[in-house]
Structures are given as C-alpha cells and as structure tokens.
Amino acid sequence: MKKTCINIFIILLVVFSACKKQTANYSTFPISAYSPLQVGKYISYNLDSLIFINFGTKDTTIHYQVKYSVDATITDNLGRPGFRIQRYIRTDSTVAWTPDNTFMAFNTGNTFEFIENNLRFLKLVEPIKNGYSWSGNSYIDTYSNNAGLQYMDGWNYTYANVNANDTLTTGILLDSTLTVNQCNLVLNDTSNLQIYSEVDYSVEQYTKGIGMVYKKFLHREYQPPTPGTNGYALGYGITLTMFDHN
C-alpha cells in the first residue's frame, strides 16, 4: 500500500510539473495590453528606410522620424469599433511633423488587426504563448500578379520571448515584451551574383502598456545579369525603433 501511494504521488508530481511548465509559457496579459489604443495616444520612432538606387546596383539608407498618433474612433463595414491612426513624418527633430499616411486598427478581443495601404494584417492573436503561430497575412490577396505581394504568401507569425525584458537601441528599457517572428526566408546564395536570390525578413516587438516598439522588415530580390545587362536588386526595407511615447 505504501508503494502504491508513493507511485501515485510521483505521478501527480509529474503531472503538476508539466502543467506548471506549460502555464509559464502563457502571457498573463490580454491582447489589449499590447495594443492599448485610445484617442490621443502616440508612439514616435526612428525610421531607417533602405532603398535600391542606380538601377538597383546600390543600396542606401535614408533616416527619418515618424509618429503614429491615434486621432479618432471609427467603425468598419462589419460594424466593429476601431481607431484611425495618423502617421506624421519629419527628417529630424529640428523640423515640424507633416502628415503622410493613415491607418486603421481593430482590437477584436482575441485578435489585433492593422490595416495599412488596404492590406489587413493579423498582428496579434490569442493565445499569447511562446511558439504559438498563425497565418498573419491570410486576409491579403498574395496571388494577384498585379499586386506584387506573392512574397507575403504563407507567412506564419510566431510568438517568442513572451514576457521578456529588453533595451532598445534608443536606450529605452522595456519589460513584459513579446516578439512576433513573421518571416525569415533566404532563397539561394545571396553572395552568388550569377543566380537569382531573395531575402524576406520581418519581425515586430510589442511591450505591455505601449504597443509596437520595434519593427524590422526587408524584401530583396536579386536579378542576375543577362547578356548586355548588369545584375540588379529590387525591394525595400524599414527599421522602426521607438524613441518616445505617451
């Protein structure tokens, strides 16, 4: 009888430990904590914009600052409440902000959706736990040849580093962050200039009580030389790093 009781105790201990380990993977905060939208809220970022010049034979990075400001509540065509976000841009802090784009954001309770240039992204989805993945670009028509978005097809967004602490390059200390790895694809050897290659990379970081604090995106296609032409690159990249918020 004593041996049986010991065996039952060991089984219960193993089950409890397994459950505890699984629970530790979950965020203790809802999606709304990582997308705390309300009119008047803003986040300002340093923006590094990578572009290809000289007919794609050279790349260069242009530096800006952008501010995403929630300026109004809205309702979409499905009757869902959301927010309109105005983006402002400037070359540096010595010049005034200039509006340059408008976005929409919706927190449905178990998803956070962001609409940019008529493209709807599923930025966050519950449950928030390390390793959980979903099709973040599922609402985007990636098959249309005219759209030029085939490279966005099949991206599996995946949570990592949930509830981690971090420090941005701007010196801002963060706690209760999460990382969304969206894509990390390298097709063919990018150092071989005689063959086609492609790089697709996208990651975002969110912090409880603030929202998105960091984003890095790169889409680059390299076309090899043909008789009478040089090889060239197409695409673009951006890096957003928060330096101010309210």
- The answer, yes or no, to whether the previous bond of 225 is cis (omega within 30 of 0) is no
Which tokens is 239 given?
Answer: 């890096």
CA distances 99 to 38, 82, 102, 107, 118, Å, are 19, 20, 8, 24, 18
Is-contact 135 122, C-beta < 8 A?
yes
Phi, psi (deg, nearest 5) at residue 41: -75, 145
Q: Which residues of the chain have pLDDT under 50?
A: 2-6, 8-23
Residue 183 located in a structural domain: yes
Distance from chain centroid for Cα 142? 18
Please tell me the predicted confidence (pLDDT) of residue 21. Answer: 47
Residue 5 located in a structural domain: no
Please tell me the predicted confidence (pLDDT) of residue 14. Answer: 43
Range 226-246 burial, b when 16+ CB lie within 10 A, else e:
eeeeebbbebebbbbbbbebe
Residue 192 located in a structural domain: yes
Into how many domains does the chain fold? Answer: 1
Q: Note down the domain range covering 54.
A: 36-245
Which tokens is 129 given?
Answer: 């736990």
Please tell me the predicted confidence (pLDDT) of residue 27. Answer: 64
Residue 17 located in a structural domain: no
Distance CA(227)–CA(99), nearest Å, equals 45
Q: What angle do CA 240, 138, 200 make, to 5 degrees?
A: 45
Strand order from edge to edge, sheet including 111-116: 119-125, 111-116, 98-107, 81-90, 58-75, 42-53, 232-245, 211-223, 197-207, 173-187, 156-167, 133-135
Please tell me the predicted confidence (pLDDT) of residue 143. Answer: 85
User: What residues contact residue 55 under an 8 Å CB cut-off, 6+ apart?
Assistant: 230, 232
Residue 111 located in a structural domain: yes
Residue 203 located in a structural domain: yes
Q: By three-state DSSP, how is residue 34 classified?
A: helix
Please tell me the predicted confidence (pLDDT) of residue 25. Answer: 55
Please tell me the predicted confidence (pLDDT) of residue 11. Answer: 43
Please tell me the predicted confidence (pLDDT) of residue 101. Answer: 97
Residue 80 located in a structural domain: yes
Model pTM score:
0.87
Q: What angle do CA 22, 127, 151 make, to 5 degrees?
A: 115
Residue 22 located in a structural domain: no
Distance CA(49)–CA(23), nearest Å, equals 39
Please tell me the predicted confidence (pLDDT) of residue 147. Answer: 73
Task: Identify the bridge partners of residue 81 per DSSP, sorted by sequence position.
Answer: 75
**Nearest in space to 133 (alpha carbons), one of 183, 201, 175, 200:** 183
